[in-house]
Amino acid sequence: MTQLNKHAKQLLAPIVSNKRVGQYHQIIINIGEIATNCKPGNFVAISVGGGSSSMVLRRAFAISRVSTSTTVGGTMELIVAPHGQGSKWLCAQDEGVVLDLVAPLGTAFGIPTEPVPVLLVGGGYGSAPLFGLAELLNSRGCRVDMLLGASTGSKIYAPMEGKRAVNSMRIYTEDGSMGVAGRVTDPIAEIIKDLNVAVIYSCGPMPMLAAITKITNEFDVIHQCAVEESMACGVGICMTCVLPVENEDGTISNLRSCIDGPVMDGAKVQWSKVGQQI
Amino acid sequence: MTALDFSTTIGNAWFPAPTFTASGCASSGRELAQFFPLREMGGVVTKSVMSKMRPGRPTPRMAETPSGMLNSIGLQGPGIDAFLAKDVPYLVEQKARVIVSIAGETVEEYSTLARKLRSVSGISAIEVNISCPNVENRGLVFACDPEASRRVIDGVRRTIGGELPIIAKLSPDVTDLVSIAKGVVDAGADGLALINTVLGMVINVDTMRPHLGGKTGGLSGPAIRPIAVRAVYQVHAALPQIPILGMGGVASGKDALEMILAGASGVSIGTASFGNPTAIMAIQDELKQLLIDRGFTSLKQAVGFAHRSIEAE
């Protein structure tokens, strides 16, 4: 058996910058040499609230991109929505504040061995890790198209420089305030046919991932999705973040989204059984 | 630096340090091995294992609460055969000291599990978890019933004979913990693990329904520490010769020292590891220093120190 949490390191890492971008915060953290081990799809677990906090659990955030060649050394970027107590605390931290973090954790998106057409689908700030992934896929010669969706325009995360690595980017909002009015899943079947898409990479809320799986089941296309389940530890010891996943023998097991995920094979996740007794 | 004997014993099992994982809070140890060598702590108490593979409860399984959390895992696990084939050999290979925790639905299941452990080498002790709150029928929480508790421990003791130390893990959700502790010790327990989580509930005010898939869950973390310290203190007062593994919200060396002073011979760290994978190592170092600072030359001198009257010093 391979070593679990291989490459994961716990370190004290200073915030390099913290900027508000629409409804989100872009937080850059100096993580030194571990940046070289962070791959698109991996996440970081950060201690929140300071030493005397009543928040006893770490918070997990998708690593949206890393840079190994900045003036301060290796850095990671997080796109954080200040929703809960922990993420609000993180978004309120200034440059220079030192964070206790564990990274990289979890599985990464698999990169095709051949340059094939791929489609990236992001929901809300779930789109953040897709831009680093797009750059990597683009550098391997893949044609990369991207779909971004949210309930409303202000929840779309699409940095200008993110468009460089993609062939096309289409935005869908449910209220029609940005891009096309509708759901991000609406055009997927057509795009798969038109572009002969081989792999779909997705990141966002569970209903979106489930809806994509329903579409990809009709085609010969791989669906790699990054799931979000609430986690207590992020390192595989608490067993809270499980999802029902089909095993090779057809049986179903509750797998940890921190160890066997967050990137999982969408076709194997039993979306209809999430939250059910198996 | 002053020399300190940091070792502890439970029955005939010796441990170089009094620091352990809490069952259910370190899986089978493998996940933490990336962060520190497992042999550097006192011992790994593995996640309570049952006879058969068990999928556990539906999600959501967790809710963070002030200074704590509720969990509702429901003893998800691989079953004893897969556990013995994969997990115990790994821990032995890591030179970790192993306490295997078992859980059953019937008195017979506990005995069956004990039979499977009897001939396994590399195990220091057995924890008999009779107090997991996350089971369908509260009537099946053996540790809430003195007679049922006694029968489980008696069955395990008869099955494994007199060699492996038995540690009974008890619930704080009882009126008279001391009588239950006395019952399991009479039935053959060599040590006690105090306390399991406290039964609790969170209601989601948006859905207006219980938040957890299993509706109720076990409360852990610093929120329950005073309950744990009280439990250890009361039981140590009644049974001063019985080693206790104290647990419940231990997150620092100071917290660990509180447990030791109350009467624990060792401490288990659970929820603190969720918040910090290296918590056990930090707690171990801090506890060692606190003992030295107070002039102790052995851990054993500090066990139950809080029970001494001031005049006796």
**What ipTM is given for this predicted complex?**
0.94
Q: Characterize B63-96 residue by residue with b for buried, 16 or more Cβ atoms within 10 angstroms of its Cβ, and e for exposed.
A: bbbebbbbbbbbbbbbebeebbeebbebbeeeeb
Got the DSSP string for chain B? ----B--EEETTEEESSSEEEPTTSSTTSTTGGGTS-GGGSSBEEPPPB-SS-B--PPSP-EEEETTEEEE-----B--HHHIIIIIHHHHHHTT--EEEEE--SSHHHHHHHHHHHTT-TTEEEEEEE---S-SS-GGG-GGGSHHHHHHHHHHHHHHHTTSS-EEEE--S-SS-HHHHHHHHHHTT-SEEEE--PEEEE-EETTTTEESBTTBEEEEESGGGHHHHHHHHHHHHHH-TTS-EEE-SS--SHHHHHHHHHHT-SEEEE-HHHHH-TTHHHHHHHHHHHHHHHTT-SBHHHHTTGGGS-GGG-
B71 vs A contacts (CB less than 8 Å): 232, 238, 240
Collect all residues from B whose CB is shorter than 8 A from any CB in A: 24-27, 30-35, 47, 55-62, 64, 66-69, 71, 73, 76, 86, 90, 213, 221-222, 251, 271-278
Is residue B1 a part of any domain in this protein? no
CA dihedral A252, A254, A256, A261 (to 10 degrees): 30
Is residue B255 a part of any domain in this protein? yes
Best interface-test mutation with A: which of B28, B30, B32, B34 has the largest number of A CBs within 10 A? Answer: B34
8 Å CB contact of A100 and B66: no
**What gap in Å lies between CA B120 and CA A28, rounded to an integer?**
50
Among 2.60.40.10, 3.50.50.60, 3.90.230.10, 3.40.50.80, what is the CATH number of A118-273? 3.40.50.80
- A196 — contact with chain B (CB < 8 Å)? no
Nearest C-alpha in A relative to B31: A4
**What gap in Å lies between CA A37 and CA A11, rounded to an integer?**
14
In 3D space, the residue among A106, A226, A239, A90 whose CA is nearest the CA of residue B274 turns out to be A239
Alpha helices (runs of H) in A196-254, residue ranges in sequence order: 206-216
Q: Which part of chain A has CATH 3.40.50.80?
A: 118-273
- A236 — contact with chain B (CB < 8 Å)? yes
SS3 for A244?
A: strand
Q: pLDDT digit string (tens) for B70-116?
A: 999 999 999 999 999 999 999 999 999 999 999 999 999 999 999 99
SS3 for A96?
A: coil
Is residue B139 a part of any domain in this protein? yes
- A206 — contact with chain B (CB < 8 Å)? no
- The tens-digit pLDDT sequence of chain A (278 residues) is 568 999 999 999 999 999 999 899 999 999 999 999 999 999 999 999 998 899 999 999 999 999 998 788 899 999 999 999 999 999 999 999 999 999 999 999 999 999 999 999 999 988 999 999 999 999 999 999 999 999 999 999 988 888 889 999 999 999 999 999 999 999 999 999 999 999 999 999 999 999 999 999 999 999 999 998 889 999 999 999 999 999 999 999 999 999 999 999 999 999 999 999 99
Question: Considering all CA atoms of chain A, what is the largest pairwise distance in Å, rounded to the nearest integer?
Answer: 56
Domain count along chain B = 1
Is residue B191 a part of any domain in this protein? yes
Nearest C-alpha in A relative to B27: A237
Best interface-test mutation with B: which of A3, A54, A233 has the largest number of B CBs within 10 A? Answer: A233
Indicate the residue of B27, B55, B61 with minimum beta-carbon distance to A278: B55
Q: pLDDT digit string (tens) for B255-303?
A: 999 999 999 999 999 999 999 999 999 999 999 999 999 999 999 999 9
Alpha helices (runs of H) in A184-231, residue ranges in sequence order: 188-195, 206-216
- Element (DSSP H or E) covering residue A91: helix A85-91
Is residue B66 a part of any domain in this protein? no
- A72 — contact with chain B (CB < 8 Å)? no
8 Å CB contact of A230 and B62: yes
State the architecture of A9-105 in CATH terms: Beta Barrel (2.40)
- Look up residue B262 and give its amino acid: A
**What gap in Å lies between CA A259 and CA A104, rounded to an integer?**
11
Place of tokens 């010891």: A237
Place of tokens 């989580």: B197
Is residue B267 a part of any domain in this protein? yes
* Helices and strands (DSSP H and E) totals, chain A: 4, 16
- A101 — contact with chain B (CB < 8 Å)? no
Sign of CA dihedral A262, A268, A272, A273: negative
Place of tokens 């170089």: B16
Q: For the domain that residue B285 is a member of, what is the CATH number?
A: 3.20.20.70
What residues make up the domain containing B17? 8-56+74-201+221-312
The answer to whether B20 and B193 have CB atoms below 8 angstroms apart is no
Place of tokens 């971004």: A148
